[in-house]
Structure 1
Amino acid sequence: MGLKPTVAFNHLGCEKNRVDTEHMLGLLVQAGYQVDANEELADYVVVNTCSFIEAAREESVRTLVELAAAQKKVVITGCLAQHFQHELLEEIPEAVALVGTGDYNRIVEVIERAEAGERVKLVSPEPTYIADETVPRYRTTASSVAYLRVAEGCDYRCAFCIIPHLRGNQRSRPIESIVAEAHQLAAEGVQELVLISQITTNYGLDRYGKPQLAELLRALGEVDVPWIRMHYAYPTGLTPAVIAAIRDTPNVLPYLDLPLQHSHPEVLRAMNRPWQGQVNDDVIHRIKDALPEAVLRTTFIVGFPGETEAHFEHLLAFVERHRFDHVGVFGFSPEEDTPAYDLPNPVPEAERDRRREVLMLAQQPIAWAHNRDHIGRVVDVLIEQENPATGMAIGRSARFAPEVDGLVYVSGAAPLNQIVPVTITAADTYDLFGDVAPVIAAPTPALTLAP
């Protein structure tokens, strides 16, 4: 038997896509395939695509066209493959295979069939698959951080969102499966686990008949990982039980990513999130009362169809009132196959851009003030990069999630992939700067001689 072909991966999109990529890599390596980071040297390039918004689709298509022009054998996987399963093989003749979001576990079979000369299309109409701890995984993130998927898909039907169409309804993994994978990752030296799903606060609803996030967090408290961070906490799911589990479980960070999307009840109703307008303020106050050290990140959509200047001013005041640690702002992107695509009273693109800029500018002094508050404090920092030329190390404090928040630039020797105490000496809008704090040894107890 000759050598198996070499496969390279081009990963696009979110951390859920990244986990899919890591499982595909793991399955191919387990099956004896060569994996190479260099696309030019690979026989096949698997492009794990994103189709969430127009800009993501454009990036995915641009990547596919460039690889096709280089005459690479392209395997298209992920959300774009699920979304445009009837068009892509026709439009990109160089593509040898198309694999949907619920079929990536069959990647070895796909390559084998492609090698035999078949043009493969594997796209389940309704994705139902979700990998568990038994599926091999070849991680692509920094060795100190891993994303841990607790559920896949979404049962909500927000008017602007295409995710249920691309990824199916919510399906949660058993608590035991998640904890087993967390132990595996801890044994690999991971210092931070980021729990991901579309709606993490709804974890377990489909499997257990009621949300089980509080129970999951407490179970993960037994895992030997210093930091556990949770992404995408919908406000209605932040029950007293969940907040208590965050407070009582030492390795669960009080970091909450709340995808609020808007503040005005009329806009939220149009977004098909009618329940949220009544709870936003109350939930934020409850979090801050119960978790005074809570770090709050959120995202907003501006320029949703029908959003008036008064609605936008309401959102602006909301941001200035609650003083979130981190805010992301997106201009509305009309997506086919979503109810919002045909809504009346669209906001012109130039006005969407203006509102986004105004909101981001309003957040900047708030973010800077939060960072300035840490000057003089000693904070734990997970060191992720070293720059021998400058003697600087780069990492993140618990306030900063990987890839979306700021960084901490550290002077002085600091061990890679370890959490070290750092004295913060300066701050700008998004990042912190500091020195490795001296470790003060505990005093030696006095020797007492027996009489």
Structure 2
Amino acid sequence: MASNTTRSILTGKTYFIRTFGCQMNLHDSERVAGLLDSYGCFAAADPAGADIVIFMTCCVREAADQRLYGQCSSCKSLPTPPSGKRVVAVGGCIAQRDGERLVSHVDNVDVIFGTQAIAHVADLIADAFEDGGRHVDTEEGAAPAATTLPWHREQPFHAWVPIMTGCNNFCTYCIVPYVRGREKSRPFESVVDEVAGLLRCGVREVTLLGQNVNSYGRDAYGAPRFAELLRAVGETGIERIRFTSSHPKDLLPETIDAMAEVPAVMPHLQLAVQSGSTRVLKLMNRRYTREDYLGLVDRIRERIPDIALTTDIIVGFPGETEEDFEQTLSLAERVGYAQAFTFIYSRREGTPAARIEDPTPREVIQDRFDRLVKVIEQTAHDFNQHDLGTTVPVLVEGSSKKDSRVLQGKSPKNQTVHAPIPAGMDIESLVGRIVDVDVDTARTWYLSGTVVGDPR
């Protein structure tokens, strides 16, 4: 459809986007919102007030499918919007994986667009409004990259910056390589220029995104250049740099050095272990051992002693024994994670692990999961005690959901920090600024204290 026709159809319409899954999906949602803005659409506060409802999906766990079906079905009971018609669209990984098959699962979906078809979203939605049909685009590599599209950032002081897409690792439990494709790195200069431009627009913190950022550049330049990229991004003057995800097998010494030496790189690393058992790690095709991982942790802490290490752990991978699980528990205690995203294994059709039969009773797996959660709660609590009595620079994100008189933000270690809003100030004037907080309370999942000095 011609852009002028799309604009005439979409101008004045409202949209609502609900995002599930990883940070890459959050970035994609912000690009979809920016694209719709550019065609004259306006964001709505909820689905009931939207002419266009978009679900950006994740298919890492089975529950995501059921959640999507429920969310789509709930749109049937919404009141008719002012335009007289509502278009429901599904994007992201489930859309890429299932394509037209989604139509048989959810009968009120009008538009289905894959992970590489974001640039076509406005045209697809306009077509659905015009002809009332269903429109699907899951073709790979045919559209401009999402990074070239307009942007509607959720937070003006923070930006997601994809440095690569896709994954070449093929962990046996993971569907991502099948829905995001092979690794494809952005040009080095493009990433650096984007961060420099974001800095000029007032952004203070960027998060560099990739399914495995440590392998950035291997496909385009013949060798990884992530350490070099961290240094170059730091030289732009951006105040805070974060990144995710980081595969242990590709975390090179030069990257650890860059993390230690570039002041803007925050002392926080998400380093997914998945299991503490070498036997299970081999079944997962993770390509490192328990000993490899612990040695890596030691090298990181030698260079960055106060770093916050967080992780992902899967419980109940097919064939996991009690001995395997005990090794996961002991590894978590040994590392002392500041936080961990813990999951019960979810079988994903199309992955090698889906073919492995596992007789382990569900109640045994649930008991292991609960035991792991208790260990992580303890290590997180212990980690936060190190900041008790210190002064922490906090990037303010907004007010606490529980108390509007309390600000909430993130420390360099990515800890959530609370503090009463100082007298004479309001949250609107503090969002996006950095305040120093004297920490007097350290709980499992947050720090709290008192703002000292002036915001900056």
- TM norm structure 1: 0.91
Q: Write the mapping of 1:185-224 to structure 2, written as runs, cut at 5 A.
A: 185-224=198-237
Q: Tell me which residue corresponds to 1:84.
A: 98
**Higher mean Cα deviation, 203-212 or 82-91?**
82-91
Q: Is the 8 A contact 1:162 1:337 kept in 2?
A: yes
Q: Does 1:428 align with 2:443?
A: yes
Alignment of 1:254-265 (within 5 A): 254-265=267-278
Q: By how many angstroms is 1:292 displaced?
A: 1.3
The answer as to whether partners of 2:114 and 2:137 remain within 8 angstroms in 1 is yes
**Alignment counterpart, residue 127 of structure 2, candidates 106, 109, 113:** 113
Deviation at 1:188, TM superposition (A): 2.8
Partner of 2:195: helix, strand, or coil? Answer: helix
For residue 129 of structure 1, report the CA deviation from its aligned partner: 5.7
Identical columns (%): 31
Per-residue CA deviations over 1:65-109 (Å, capped at 9, x if unaligned) read 111343742111111111221321233232211111110111121
Alignment partners' CA distance in 2, 1:429 and 1:35: 36
Structure 2: which 5+ residue stretches go unaligned? 1-7, 81-85
Partner of 1:417: 432
Q: State the match for 1:49 in structure 2.
A: 57
Partner residue in 2 for 1:352: 365
**Counterpart amino acid of residue 119 in structure 1:** R
After superposition, the Cα gap between the structure-2 partners of 1:297 and 1:411, relative to the gap in structure 1 and judged at 3 Å, is same
Aligned match of 2:111 in 90, 93, 97?
97
- Which of 15, 30, 49 is equivalent to 1:22? 30
Shift of 1:200: 0.9
Residue aligning to 2:17: 9
Q: Does 1:61 align with 2:75?
A: no
Runs (4+) off by over 4 Å? 1-4, 125-129, 387-390
* 3-state SS of paired residue (2:48): helix
Between the aligned partners of 1:35 and 1:186, the Cα distance in structure 2 is 25
Corresponding position of 2:284:
271
Report matched runs for 1:196-345 at 5 Å. 196-345=209-358
AA of the residue aligned to 1:200: V
Structure 1 residues 128 and 111: alpha-carbon distance in aligned structure 2, compared to 1, 3 A threshold: closer
- Aligned residues of 1:9 and 1:37 also touching (Cα < 8 A): no
What's the offset of the Cα at 1:389? 6.8
Give SS of 1:93's match: coil
Kindly indicate whether the alpha-carbon contact (under 8 Å) linking 1:128 and 1:168 is maintained by their aligned counterparts in 2. Answer: no
**Aligned-CA RMSD value:** 2.1
* 31, 38, 45: which one aligns with 1:37: 45
Q: 1:212 to 1:385 in 2, by over 3 A?
A: same
Q: Residue 408 of structure 1 aligns to which amino acid in structure 2?
A: V
Q: 1:127 offset after TM fit, Å?
A: 8.1
| TM-score (norm: length of structure 2) | 0.90
Q: Which moved more, 1:116-125 or 1:278-287?
A: 116-125
Aligned residue in 1 for 2:3: none
Q: CA offsets per residue over residues 112-132 of structure 1, 9 Å max, x none? A: 221220421111157886333
**Of the candidates 176, 187, 198, which is equivalent to residue 174 of structure 1?**
187
How much does 1:368 deviate?
1.2
Task: Return the match for 2:417 from 388, 408, 415.
Answer: 408
Distance 1:303 1:92 in 2: 30
> Which structure's residues are more often helix, by fraction?
2
